[in-house]
């Protein structure tokens, strides 16, 4: 078993450290330098069919759903097609508005999650086109979707999803560029410069991973926090949801993700000196707003650990601790900003002596509704 973990203490840590490769494997085959388009020949959806799509649903569960929220934000903002993201267990029961002009994107690591599969079947029945973003080749969702975009994360053993999420985000970046190019919402020049950023992501993932020791020290420092909030705005808010889930899943520490601007409408009442707030501040246009929310927390004696973009040193005056991620295009910060959250949850869990790879009450794949 030790050999299977490749020298790491747990599968989860091994999988966290595989992320540069996973991102590379998912992106590179679709981004050849000699073609100024996203090569998704696996997807049969034509330009004409895309032109007729007037609404997109993104449906998934758990971590895959959080990747879907990032996808929703990017696809809608860049392509201007309205996108609704929803958890599969809710989507099915509310008689959603679906027709032949609907594109449904389902995201699933295992390709076997019962609620997601049932949502896919409902959408197909009602005439929607279904595109699956799936990790396990030949799984039920992969077989039943009309089109399939595989995430090349390889087998994920740890129950808590890490590398599969990064691969799903990479897939969302690809889809955003693909749909935008097809619909004429992105020029070739814009695409080429975004692609240059994507080429650099694997190397930047490794730069974040090299901070593991520092993140372990921060986990030890904050391990006994009473309440934990993960906050951000825009894409940072989407990322905060995944961070909070990881901490709950493997460390059994209760935490809540919150839209930073919404804190003052309730949760700020819980801020005291034993409260930890993890503030994600990677979005330039929302930076000042989130920082002012972080100041409100400091003014109430809360502890703030920020995840910010390198070069942005003035945040150090506001918060207790900062983890920096390398600079990248605003569309792609989610992948880098999430990695410190994974490592933080991992080290809090091990500091508390929990079984990281097999957290209590959780299953890798949930095949019951
Ligand atoms: C379970 C797993 C999660 C996963 C979710 C969705 O709850 O513990 O890690 O995100 O199912 O799984 P899927 O295979 O559909 O991505």
Tell me the mean pLDDT per 10 residues along the chain, length 369: 86 98 98 96 92 97 98 98 97 94 98 97 97 98 98 95 98 98 97 98 98 98 95 98 97 96 93 96 94 95 97 94 98 98 98 93 88
Query: Rounded distance, CA 224 to CA 179, Å?
Result: 45
Q: How far is the CA of 65 from the centre of ligand 1 (A)?
A: 9
Q: How far is the CA of 360 from the centre of ligand 1 (A)?
A: 15
Asked if 277 and 229 touch (Cβ cutoff 8 Å), the reply is yes
Please indicate whether residue 139, judged by its CB atom, sits closer than 6 Å to ligand 1: no
Phi/psi region, residue 354 (left: phi>0; alpha: psi -120 to 50; beta: rest), is: beta
State the closest ligand 1 atom to the C-alpha of 161, by its place in the atom list counted from 1.
9
Task: Tell me the sheet residues that pair with 56.
Answer: 83, 103
Query: Rounded distance, CA 139 to CA 35, Å?
Result: 31
Q: How far is the CA of 56 from the centre of ligand 1 (A)?
A: 22
Q: How far is the CA of 14 from the centre of ligand 1 (A)?
A: 19
Query: Rounded distance, CA 107 to CA 125, Å?
Result: 18
Please indicate whether residue 159, judged by its CB atom, sits closer than 6 Å to ligand 1: yes
Q: What is the CB neighbour count within 10 angstroms for residue 157?
A: 15
Asked if 26 and 171 touch (Cβ cutoff 8 Å), the reply is yes
The per-residue pLDDT for 1 is: 65
Per-residue buried b or exposed e for 46-77, using 16+ beta carbons within 10 Å of the residue's own CB: eeeebeebebbbbbbbbbbbbbbbbbbbbbbe
Please indicate whether residue 362, judged by its CB atom, sits closer than 6 Å to ligand 1: yes
Please indicate whether residue 168, judged by its CB atom, sits closer than 6 Å to ligand 1: no
Q: Residue with the nearest Cα to atom 15 of ligand 1?
A: 108
Q: Which of 59, 115, 364 to mutate to test the pocket of ligand 1 (most atoms within 8 A of CB)?
A: 364
ipTM of the prediction: 0.96
Assigned token pair, 167: 């691969």
Q: Which of 365, 367, 368, 369 to mutate to test the pocket of ligand 1 (most atoms within 8 A of CB)?
A: 365
Is 364 noted as a catalytic residue in this protein? Answer: yes
Q: How far is the CA of 257 from the centre of ligand 1 (A)?
A: 18
State the closest ligand 1 atom to the C-alpha of 116, by its place in the atom list counted from 1.
15
């Amino acid at each position: 078993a030790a050999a299977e973990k490749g020298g790491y203490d747990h599968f989860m840590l091994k999988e966290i450290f595989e992320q540069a490769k996973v991102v590379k494997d998912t992106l590179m085959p679709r981004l050849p330098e000699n073609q100024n388009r996203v090569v998704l020949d696996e997807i049969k959806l034509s330009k004409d069919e895309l032109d007729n799509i007037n609404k997109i649903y993104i449906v998934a569960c758990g971590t895959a759903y959080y990747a879907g929220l990032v996808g929703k934000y990017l696809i809608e903002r860049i392509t201007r097609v309205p996108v609704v993201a929803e958890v599969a267990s809710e989507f099915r029961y509310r008689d959603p508005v679906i027709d032949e002009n609907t594109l449904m994107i389902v995201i699933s690591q295992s390709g076997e999650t019962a609620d997601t599969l049932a949502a896919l079947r409902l959408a197909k029945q009602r005439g929607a086109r279904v595109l699956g973003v799936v990790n396990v080749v030949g799984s039920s969702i992969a077989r039943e979707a009309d089109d399939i975009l595989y995430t090349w994360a390889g087998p994920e053993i740890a129950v808590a999803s890490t590398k599969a999420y990064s691969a799903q985000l990479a897939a969302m970046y690809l889809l955003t560029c693909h749909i935008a190019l097809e619909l004429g919402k992105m020029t070739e020049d814009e695409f080429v410069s975004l692609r240059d950023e994507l080429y650099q992501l694997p190397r930047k993932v490794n730069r974040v991973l090299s901070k593991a020791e520092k993140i372990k020290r921060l986990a030890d420092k904050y391990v006994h926090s009473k309440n934990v909030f993960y906050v951000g705005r825009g894409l940072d808010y989407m990322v905060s949801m995944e961070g909070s889930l990881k901490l709950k899943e493997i460390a059994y520490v209760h935490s809540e993700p919150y839209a930073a601007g919404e804190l003052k409408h309730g949760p700020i009442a819980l801020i005291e000196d034993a409260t930890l707030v993890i503030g994600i501040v990677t979005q330039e246009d929302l930076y000042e707003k989130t920082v002012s929310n972080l100041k409100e927390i400091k003014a109430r004696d809360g502890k703030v650990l920020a995840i910010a973009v390198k070069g942005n040193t003035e945040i150090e005056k506001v918060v207790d601790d900062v983890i920096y991620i390398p600079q990248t295009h605003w569309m792609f910060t989610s992948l880098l900003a999430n990695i410190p959250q994974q490592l933080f949850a991992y080290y809090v869990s091990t500091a508390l002596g929990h079984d990281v790879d097999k957290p209590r009450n959780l299953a890798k794949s949930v095949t019951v509704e």
